[in-house]
Amino acid sequence: MNEQRITRRSLHEGRVNKTDWSKVDQLSDTDIEKAAASDPDAAPILDPQWFEDAEVVRSKQLISIRLDREVLEFFKSSGPSYQTRINAVLKSYMRAVRKSG
């Protein structure tokens, strides 16, 4: 292989973040809720009470699931048993949705 044809780049080279974080930091909760309401891909905002009712269960079924990188990193960053915590949050959400009809 000809060394002159090899192009090397760092992992983050060429990635440009165009988000104006100072504007994002100035948004109120109401502004964020309005933006989420107009986004057809946004999940409905539920009362945070559903999270407080999450419980850990030990009988599981092995599956494959695709999660956003930031979601997975969030759960992994809080220590071992991150999959159990993800399951507890999902189960609590399921109960909240069933309860609300």
- pTM beyond 0.75, yes or no: no
In whole angstroms, how far apart are CA 62 and each of 55, 66, 87?
19, 13, 12
Predicted pLDDT of residue 98: 92
DSSP secondary structure string, 28-94?
-HHHHHHHHHT-TTSPPP--THHHHT---------------HHHHHHHHHT-S-HHHHHHHHHHHHH
Q: Cα(66)–Cα(71) distance, rounded to whole angstroms?
A: 10
Predicted pLDDT of residue 70: 94
Which residue numbers in the chain have pLDDT < 50? none
48-64 confidence digits (pLDDT tens): 676 777 776 667 788 88
